[in-house]
Amino acid sequence: MAADTVRGARKAGRYVLLIVVAVIVLFPIYAVLLQALKSGPDSLDHPRSLLPVDLTLSTIRAAWTQGNLGRLLLNSVFVSLMVTVGVVITSLLAAYAFAFLEFPFKGPLFIAFLATMLVPAEVTVVINERTADALGWINSYQGLIVPSLASTFGVFLVRQVFLQLPGEMREAASLDGVGHVRFLWEVAAPLSRPTLGALALFTFLGTWNAYLWPSQVIRGDRAHETIQIGLERLKNNDISKINLVTGGLVVAALPIFVMLVVFQRQLVRGLTAGAVKG
Amino acid sequence: MAYGSGVAQVRLEHITKTFGTGDDAVRAVDDVSIDIAHHEFMILLGPSGCGKSTLLRMVAGLEDPTSGEVYIADALVNDVEPKARDIAMVFQSYALYPHKTVRANIEFPLKVRGVSKTERAAEALRAADVLGLADYMHRKPGQLSGGQRQRVALARAIVRNPAVFLMDEPLSNLDAKLRGDTRAELVDLHRRLDTTILYVTHDQVEAMTMGTRVAVLNQGRLQQIGTPQQVYDQPATAFVAQFIGTPPMNLLPAGMLGSADVHVGIRPEHLELRSDGNIHAVVRQVEHLGHEILLIGDAAGTKLIARLDPSAFVPKVGDPVVFGTDPGRLHRFDAATGERVS
Amino acid sequence: MKRRLRDVPWALAMLLPSLALIAVWTVYPLVKAIQNGHLRCDVTGTKCRDAGWGRYVDVFKSREFQHALSVSLKLMVLTVPTGLVLGIALAVLADKQLRGIGFFRTAFSSTVATSVAVASLVWFVLLQPQIGVLADLFSGIFPVLKNPGLLNDPGTALFAVALSSIWANLGFTFIIVTAALQSVPRDLYESAYVDGAGSFTRFTNVTIPMIAPTLLFVGVVLTTRALQTYGEVALLTGGGPNPQQSTTTIPYLIYGKNSLIHNDLGTKSAAAVLLFLLSLIFAVVQFRGLEKRVHYGS
């Protein structure tokens, strides 16, 4: 009996703690959301109360037009999709070569390939920006898309999956006269769908969220900005218009929140694939 | 049917396969030559690592011989791709495509060759019928039992109408009862399709019951080729003598019953309790199997097994006994080389 | 012999896209940056002279780099341990099969949906003096919140950036540590319980050792992110407040609009390469140093 009360108290205590922490973690999002929905775009006011009443969409609407958010979102979608498709295709091809083909220096080449994973963007962006400039790709879609079309991580991931396919299946197919392209398209890729899905999701998210490279390659060309770099335009207005930023944030963050709710499982699976043993 | 009288469908001439180089080199197949005639069911038999699978894969074109020639239907195929060799292969693990239906699996070889959709469907159905799979066409391999999956693998091979079927231990993943049933089905299939089959196994019972001829291999070398009966009655080497037959042939150490450079072999069913025999032993075990009795004895350190009729007089454990045999039932093998002497 | 070379044309064709892209956009820039690090340029960046490997030492010792280095290191010290501890705390808190726990887990994971830009701007809005919600709520307790605001005070600006980073990384850390917690076999806990171990003892003797590899992984990721902090600085403080440049991290030094070396190709390249080396060293040190104490499976 006493044990039950202790357990009950413990449980209640845990719930209290959970609620407090959740409030703290979610507060910034909630506050911004509220500010976007309660105050007008020109108002210096911030909500006097934290209750969701007296809501208006005027701030979001103003942010949309002023910040050209529609175009920004379109750009982000386009660039992210192109990069995702590109990464999946280049990874499939390269992984196939490393997993199923025999050629001289395959081993050392793969290790060299992997080593490039260590090189962070911060080092390469300096020169890449000049390369893009030399190619005339500043302020263009190519500049945003092409440098990211290959992914060593993607190749590594897909090769792992390919290596787990039974060797006899490839042999049986080869006896049947199945060539490389057909085997890749009709057997290897379909059997690797979960991994390809996780790769696609991560690539899409990574590209959507990217800030450093887009900020270097797009300079002032509003037509080609992605939402991540275009958003800050809203903050460069005078301080009285700060609420526009909140409107923009709601628009910018919403697609990703929705996407992640839909793809929750794949996200967790992908994130934990490398990190957790067992 | 007199085998060997028709044109050889598959000819292996002095095939050698070495893996690795220098001191680590392993000779998986050592100068093996085999002729396989039309419509034969040729078994490659031997223990693990004897080179039988490697040999099969060289016929398939999945491996290249280090030296030697492979002929299929009189054409030299050493440099010919597997898909162009007019062969079909059934793998030990069946190698089915798990994401395709049974129908798609069977049709796949035809699809690759550009056969039209309607013709593909018809051919696939025909092959499925032969193997009793017509009701499972829409299922995926994951929904089938082991035996059914094996039949899908067979159907996929049949649909190609190849000159030669290659099978790599197809029954080893099945449980004992299923294995027995499938053995009979394969023999029946061979008869119905009237094709040439090259079949690899380590199970001598399969070899004896299914093959028209058996090629016994050990450590890369061909020990003997012959019909099951020939291989049983006249084993060419001591290895063959002890590999074929259950319980295995008794091989007496050099000197016992013969000269010092000869091992003498006697099959358990030919080892009789005779007062005039000259092998003295002590009974160690008596096993009653119902249809026969196995008498296991110890003759100066050598284990002997004899098969007795269940109605015969059975000595007790610990009794001294005398074994003998018909002189014609003796097999003599050179103590050094293992080769048959007489 | 033939077999080995037969695949080469196919291999070439299939590897070409990835190899070409990596060569142009990863390998070449690295090599060129290392080369450019030798250059000593004038203020406009147009006239550069090769000054050899010594240039790297010069850049490292320079006032600008040393300051940026100290900022980056401070940021690292602020965000990594805190991030780890908070991640563990939240994961442990939510690691109970209570009713509705799914909601809390989703809430704690939510920041993984934010990008650098979104997270930074959220805090930008919150921390605006006078009008930011946090400023309004807490300015009674922390006057600096009202004027000039956390972001504009050189003493607190870096803390504000750290706060934004920690919050943004919380979701990621939570998800990973939760997964690690769930992979610990329950019977280890039961066996410890039977042996008389209390919850704290169980935590230190079972939980922590079992999830140690994951914690190492998270630590490396957080450290790398701390060293790569660019977007947060660009959006929250622009490297300032000036003239102290309280939040100019090494990446901001290299790429920031307000950076002093904005046009100096040689110094930028050298700094980038130095940053790369720094990241490598930290990663190696973390792996080596902690690997000995990390328990990799039974």
In B, minimum Cα distance to C4 occurs at B64
**Do residue B195 and residue B280 come from a single domain?**
no
- Domain presence at residue B245: no
- Domain presence at residue B162: yes
Would the pTM of this model clear 0.90, i.e. be above it?
Answer: no
Determine the distance in angstroms separating the CA of C193 from the nearest CA of chain A, rounded to an integer: 16
Most confident of A4-8, B54-58, B111-115: B54-58
What is the domain-level CATH number for residue B15?
A: 3.40.50.300
Would you state the pLDDT for residue A45?
56
**Do residue B179 and residue B264 come from a single domain?**
no
Of A11-15, A53-57, B148-152, C18-22, the least confident: A53-57
3-class DSSP assignment, residue A53: coil
Q: What is the mean pLDDT of residues B27-35?
A: 92
- Contact between chains at B82 and A182 (C-beta distance less than 8 A): no
Beta strands across the sheet bearing B250-252: B250-252, B262-266, B331-334
Using CA atoms, how far apart are residues A200 and A206, in angstroms rounded to an integer?
Answer: 10
Of A105-109, B303-307, C197-201, the least confident: C197-201
Q: Which helix (H) or strand (E) holds C279?
A: helix C265-291
Q: Which residue has the tokens 């526009």?
A: A244
Of A36-50, C17-31, C168-182, the least confident: A36-50
B83, B173 contact by CB (below 8 A)? no
- Domain presence at residue C85: yes
Would you state the pLDDT for residue C174?
94
- Domain presence at residue B1: no
Would you state the pLDDT for residue C297?
43
- Domain presence at residue B219: yes
B59, B46 contact by CB (below 8 A)? no
Of A2-6, C65-69, C268-272, the least confident: A2-6
- Contact between chains at A182 and B93 (C-beta distance less than 8 A): no
Which residues on chain A are in Cβ contact (under 8 Å) with C25? 124, 128, 131, 146-147, 150
Q: Does A47 touch chain C (CB under 8 A)?
A: yes
- Domain presence at residue C57: no
- Domain presence at residue C7: no
Return mean pLDDT, chain C. 85
**Do residue B152 and residue B114 come from a single domain?**
yes
pLDDT digits (tens, 9 = 90+) for C233-280: 989 888 878 777 788 899 998 988 877 777 788 888 899 999 999 988
Q: Does A211 touch chain C (CB under 8 A)?
A: yes
Using CA atoms, how far apart are residues B224 and B211, in angstroms rounded to an integer?
Answer: 14
Tell me which residue of C287, C283, C275, C255 sits closest to C72, measured CA to CA. C275
Q: What is the mean pLDDT of residues B93-116?
A: 90
H helices of B19-139, in order, are 52-60, 102-112, 117-130
Using CA atoms, how far apart are residues C200 and C20, in angstroms rounded to an integer?
Answer: 54
3-class DSSP assignment, residue B177: helix
A233, C94 contact by CB (below 8 A)? no
Say yes or no to pLDDT of A2 above 80.
no
Would you state the pLDDT for residue C74?
94
Quick one: tokens of B199? 């079949």
Phi, psi of B11 (to 5 degrees): -125, 125
In C, minimum Cα distance to A275 occurs at C214
**Do residue B77 and residue B18 come from a single domain?**
yes
- Domain presence at residue C150: yes
- Contact between chains at A103 and C8 (C-beta distance less than 8 A): yes
Determine the distance in angstroms separating the CA of A260 from the nearest CA of chain B, rounded to an integer: 28
B149, B131 contact by CB (below 8 A)? no
pLDDT digits (tens, 9 = 90+) for B233-273: 999 998 999 999 888 998 888 777 777 888 888 899 888 88
Quick one: tokens of C200? 């704290």
Q: Which residue has the tokens 């956009």?
A: C25
* Interface-testing mutation among A176, A187, A192, A193, with chain B (most B C-beta atoms within 10 A): A176
**Which of C 219-278 lie inside 8 A of A, CB atoms?**
224, 228, 230-231, 234-235, 251, 254-255, 265, 268-269, 272-273, 275-276
Determine the distance in angstroms separating the CA of A154 from the nearest CA of chain B, rounded to an integer: 23
Q: What is the Cα B160 distance to its own chain's centre?
A: 24
Which residues on chain A are in Cβ contact (under 8 Å) with B160? 176
B292, B271 contact by CB (below 8 A)? no
* Interface-testing mutation among B54, B56, B58, B62, with chain A (most A C-beta atoms within 10 A): B62
- Contact between chains at A126 and C280 (C-beta distance less than 8 A): no
Burial class (CB in 10 A: 0-12, 13-18, 19+), B59: buried
Using CA atoms, how far apart are residues A15 and B323, in angstroms rounded to an integer?
Answer: 86
Percent over 90 (pLDDT), chain C: 35
Would you state the pLDDT for residue B2?
39
The DSSP code sequence of B76-87 is: E-TTS-GGGS-E
Burial class (CB in 10 A: 0-12, 13-18, 19+), A86: buried
Would you state the pLDDT for residue C148?
65
**Which of B 79-108 lie inside 8 A of C, CB atoms?**
79
* Interface-testing mutation among B86, B91, B123, B198, with chain A (most A C-beta atoms within 10 A): B91
* Strands B331-334 and B250-252, bridge-based pairing: unpaired
Band the pLDDT of A53: cuts 50, 70, 90: low
Band the pLDDT of C291: cuts 50, 70, 90: low
Determine the distance in angstroms separating the CA of C4 from the nearest CA of chain B, rounded to an integer: 11
The DSSP code sequence of C13-78 is: HHHHHHHHHHIIIIIHHHHHHHHHTTEEE-TTS--EEE--THHHHHHHHSHHHHHHHHHHHHHHHH
Would you state the pLDDT for residue A50?
62
**Do residue B273 and residue B169 come from a single domain?**
no
Determine the distance in angstroms separating the CA of C7 from the nearest CA of chain B, rounded to an integer: 13
Q: Which residue has the tokens 């399709």?
A: B193
User: Which chains does B contact via 3+ CB–CB distances below 8 A?
Assistant: A, C
Q: What is the dihedral of CA B79, B85, B89, B95, to 10 degrees?
A: 70
- Domain presence at residue C50: no
Band the pLDDT of C4: cuts 50, 70, 90: low
What is the domain-level CATH number for residue C225?
A: 1.10.3720.10
The residues that bridge with B32 in the sheet, in sequence order, are B15
Tell me which residue of C282, C232, C233, C274 sits closest to C66, measured CA to CA. C274
**Do residue B264 and residue B136 come from a single domain?**
no
CB pairs under 8 A between A and C: 254
pLDDT digits (tens, 9 = 90+) for B169-194: 998 888 888 888 889 889 998 988 87
B224: left (phi over 0), alpha (psi -120 to 50) or beta: beta
Q: Which residue has the tokens 């259950």?
A: B246
Q: Does C96 touch chain B (CB under 8 A)?
A: no
The DSSP code sequence of B224-249 is: EEE-HHHHHHS-SBHHHHHHSSSSPP
ipTM > 0.95, yes or no: no
Say yes or no to pLDDT of A213 above 70.
yes
In A, minimum Cα distance to C18 occurs at A150
User: Which chains does C contact via 3+ CB–CB distances below 8 A?
Assistant: A, B
In C, minimum Cα distance to B79 occurs at C2
Q: Which residue has the tokens 């079972």?
A: C206
Q: Does C63 touch chain B (CB under 8 A)?
A: no
Q: Does C3 touch chain A (CB under 8 A)?
A: yes
Tell whether the torsion through CA atoms of B220, B226, B232 and B233 is positive or negative: negative
Q: What is the mean pLDDT of residues A55-68?
A: 82
- Contact between chains at C29 and A231 (C-beta distance less than 8 A): no
Phi, psi of C259 (to 5 degrees): -70, 150
**Do residue B83 and residue B176 come from a single domain?**
yes
In B, minimum Cα distance to C1 occurs at B64
Which of the two residues, C255 and C44, has the higher pLDDT score?
C255
- Contact between chains at B91 and A182 (C-beta distance less than 8 A): no
- Contact between chains at B79 and C2 (C-beta distance less than 8 A): yes
Q: Does B64 touch chain C (CB under 8 A)?
A: yes
Say yes or no to pLDDT of A274 above 60.
no
Would you state the pLDDT for residue B3?
41
Which of the two residues, A32 and B44, has the higher pLDDT score?
B44
Tell me which residue of B281, B275, B279 sits closest to B266, measured CA to CA. B279
Tell me which residue of A83, A81, A79 sits closest to A91, measured CA to CA. A83
Q: What is the mean pLDDT of residues B43-68?
A: 92
Phi, psi of B181 (to 5 degrees): -65, -45
In C, minimum Cα distance to A143 occurs at C25
Determine the distance in angstroms separating the CA of C208 from the nearest CA of chain B, rounded to an integer: 40
Domain total in chain B: 2
- Parent domain of B265: 251-334
In C, minimum Cα distance to B63 occurs at C3
Determine the distance in angstroms separating the CA of C226 from the nearest CA of chain B, rounded to an integer: 44
Determine the distance in angstroms separating the CA of C18 from the nearest CA of chain B, rounded to an integer: 28
Would you state the pLDDT for residue B201?
95
In C, minimum Cα distance to B64 occurs at C3
Using CA atoms, how far apart are residues B12 and B217, in angstroms rounded to an integer?
Answer: 14
Which residues on chain C are in Cβ contact (under 8 Å) with A231? 117-118, 121
**Do residue B37 and residue B158 come from a single domain?**
yes
Tell me which residue of A217, A220, A147, A124 sits closest to C268, measured CA to CA. A124
Q: Please list, in sequence order, all residues whose beta carbon lies within 8 angstroms of the beta carbon of residue C235, skipping any fewer than 6 positions away.
A: A232, A235, C116, C117, C120, C121, C124
Q: What is the mean pLDDT of residues C90-118?
A: 88
Q: Which helix (H) or strand (E) holds C216?
A: helix C208-227
- Domain presence at residue C14: no
- Contact between chains at A155 and C18 (C-beta distance less than 8 A): yes
Most confident of A23-32, B214-223, C231-240: B214-223
Would you state the pLDDT for residue C120?
92
Half-sphere exposure in the Cβ direction for B239 (13 Å, CA)? 17
Determine the distance in angstroms separating the CA of B86 from the nearest CA of chain C, rounded to an integer: 20
**Facing A176 at nearest CB: one of B61, B98, B109:** B109
Would you state the pLDDT for residue B165?
93
- Domain presence at residue B3: no
A75, A252 contact by CB (below 8 A)? no
Band the pLDDT of A277: cuts 50, 70, 90: very low
**Do residue B164 and residue B258 come from a single domain?**
no
- Parent domain of C107: 62-291
Which residues on chain C are in Cβ contact (under 8 Å) with B79? 2
Would you state the pLDDT for residue C210?
85
Say yes or no to pLDDT of C162 above 70.
yes
Domain boundaries, chain A: 71-241+261-273
- Contact between chains at C110 and A276 (C-beta distance less than 8 A): no
The residues that bridge with B36 in the sheet, in sequence order, are B10
Q: Does B74 touch chain C (CB under 8 A)?
A: no
* Interface-testing mutation among C110, C125, C262, C276, with chain A (most A C-beta atoms within 10 A): C125
- Domain presence at residue C223: yes
3-class DSSP assignment, residue B12: strand
**Do residue B154 and residue B21 come from a single domain?**
yes
Tell whether the torsion through CA atoms of A220, A222, A226 and A230 is positive or negative: positive
Which residues on chain B are in Cβ contact (under 8 Å) with C6? none
Domain A71-241+261-273, CATH number (from 1.10.760.10, 3.30.43.10, 3.40.50.970, 1.10.3720.10)? 1.10.3720.10
Q: What is the Cα C180 distance to its own chain's centre?
A: 21
Say yes or no to pLDDT of B151 above 70.
yes
Q: Which helix (H) or strand (E) holds B222?
A: strand B221-226
Determine the distance in angstroms separating the CA of C25 from the nearest CA of chain B, rounded to an integer: 37
Say yes or no to pLDDT of A44 above 60.
no
Q: Does C126 touch chain A (CB under 8 A)?
A: yes
Domain total in chain C: 1
- Domain presence at residue C38: no
Band the pLDDT of A48: cuts 50, 70, 90: low
pLDDT digits (tens, 9 = 90+) for C170-215: 999 999 999 899 888 888 888 888 887 788 888 888 888 888 888 9
Return mean pLDDT, chain B. 88
